[in-house]
Chain A
Amino acid sequence: MSLLALREVSKRFGGVNALSGVSFAVEPGEILGIIGPNGAGKTTLLNCISGVARLDAGDISWKEQSIKDVAPYRRAHLGIGRTFQIVRPFPSMTVRENTAMGVLFGRPHSRLQPAAAMKAADEVLELVGLVEKREYPVLRLTVPDRKRLELARALAMRPQLLLLDEVMAGLNHVEVEQALSMVRRIRENGVTIVLIEHVMKVIIGVCSRAIVLNFGRTLAEGPPEEVLKDRRVIEAYLGERYAKDHESPPRPGEGHDGP
């Protein structure tokens, strides 16, 4: 049984067709990558899944039940967690308190005591590597730490499906490696992941499958290595430099990994 299924999903903004007839399913335990040019509809797609945007046509089902008309907060309680590209933590709270808000929101009927919520928050902060900064006011966090906190708040709800919107933008190569092992740990904890990234190292590094959106339609779909070699994807999205750098052996004087 698919965890999530989209059927012919369409979304318009005025005269712009942000999504036109997009269909795919997400299987439990997979990490699905969504890539495509800026403006292709990737964030709109996450908005449709999390309920922030309403569909103009098509259907979305969660464990074979339509959630098309279910409010965003109820979708969160069903197990769909997400991060936002533009992070909005509670500015006057600490890292730990922000995360505890996610814990409490995710367990609305549990009558959890604040101390227990803080303890649950610490476990999540450990997973994302922020536990040493738990008493920091959020405004003191660097950009990558704010992204980690955004992830912690979503994880604190104990989602079954986690939607990540460019949580690795602005990280350098080494920081991306650290973030990748964090994503793998989250998956090992039983969370299915759909992520948007422009960093191909991420797509190749953790995704079992990738979908390429272009002008609101699916341009290609399949294992990342294949999708990234697709001529149409190179033309619309990756560009010739990427294709050249990744298909031919390193140029003389560059790279030291050859024999």
Chain B
Amino acid sequence: MGLDMTALLEVTGLTAGFGSTPVLFEVSLDVQPGELMALIGANGAGKSTLLGALSGLVQIFDGDIRFDGRRLVGLRPERIVASGLAHVPQGRRLFGTMSVERNLLLGGYRRHDSGVRQDLQRILRYFPALADKMARDAGTLSGGEQQMVAIGRGLMARPKLLMIDEPSLGLAPKIVDRVMEIVKEINQDGTAVLLVEQDVTLALEIADRGYVLEDGRVAMSGRAQDLRRDPAVRKAYLGV
């Protein structure tokens, strides 16, 4: 896409990985403000590694990451969160023996504004099922409820871009639908979303655009509706 002054997130030629082994090779992509972007690809393609690199958790060997006008490469993870990029990790990763409320509050621990309590109420509007479970240990919640807490914790940072890694993992079909509806709602309320999702049909149904990662490289990108019809995508990821 070249130099795009309006992009919220712009990744250029990113090579990143673990130890001395790159997992991502010269990845370039962008996310526009308010956009819902799907990131798809087989297991091991590098999707979670890319989210990790954006969050400052994975070593970057080369390339650039610009977010909301600032360079993220080399920033510590907490600074990246404070700049408006929040990460909802795969497998939820809640603090199981802490209450739901404290888990949510931890999402906003870098904030010092007075809106934190109000935001807690805003999150309960997305997830009313959590309202009477605020005092419960997060680890005692069902998988679907835990995913809601994880997304809510991400939202507590008031991100401009929320990265969500496989929210459907291990959830009942009905709950998957509910979680996806909420992701769409969050996006419609103005937060850009970068969604990694194994259920490609579902992801491309709610996304505006998508990128396909293969073996650590961007293999394809385009409007979600076009990717859904693409024969290569259908064969490789939809199994049709």
Give the B-binding residues of A (Cβ under 8 A).
Answer: 36-39, 85, 142-145, 166, 169-177, 198, 200, 236-239, 241-242, 255-257
Q: Is there contact, CB below 8 Å, between B143 and A38?
A: yes
By CB atoms of chain A within 10 A, which of B173, B175, B177, B200 has the most?
B173
Q: Is there contact, CB below 8 Å, between B237 and A37?
A: no
Q: Which of A39, A166, A173, A238 contacts B237 (CB 8 A)?
A: A173
Say whether B171 faces chain A, with CB atoms less than 8 Å apart: yes
Q: Is there contact, CB below 8 Å, between B237 and A237?
A: no
CA distance in complex: A170, B42 (Å): 10
| B192-209 residues at the A interface, CB under 8 angstroms | 198-200
| B155-204 residues at the A interface, CB under 8 angstroms | 166, 169-178, 198-200
Chain B residues bordering chain A, tally (CB within 8 A): 26
Q: Is there contact, CB below 8 Å, between A169 and B170?
A: yes
Q: Is there contact, CB below 8 Å, between B239 and A37?
A: no
Give the A-binding residues of B (Cβ under 8 A).
Answer: 42-44, 142-145, 166, 169-178, 198-200, 236-240
Q: Which of A38, A142, A241 contacts B170 (CB 8 A)?
A: A38
Closest to A172 in B: B198
Q: Is there contact, CB below 8 Å, between A237 and B172?
A: yes
Q: Is there contact, CB below 8 Å, between A242 and B42?
A: no
Q: Is there contact, CB below 8 Å, between B174 and A239?
A: yes
By CB atoms of chain A within 10 A, which of B44, B169, B172 has the most?
B172
Q: Is there contact, CB below 8 Å, between A37 and B43?
A: no
A residues less than 8 Å from B174 (CB atoms): 37, 236-239, 242
Q: Is there contact, CB below 8 Å, between B172 and A37?
A: yes
A residues less than 8 Å from B177 (CB atoms): 239, 241-242
Q: Can you identify 9 A-B contacts, CB atoms within 8 angstroms?
A: A37-B174, A39-B142, A166-B170, A170-B43, A198-B170, A198-B173, A237-B172, A238-B174, A239-B178
Q: Is there contact, CB below 8 Å, between B144 and A142?
A: no
CA distance in complex: A57, B224 (Å): 52
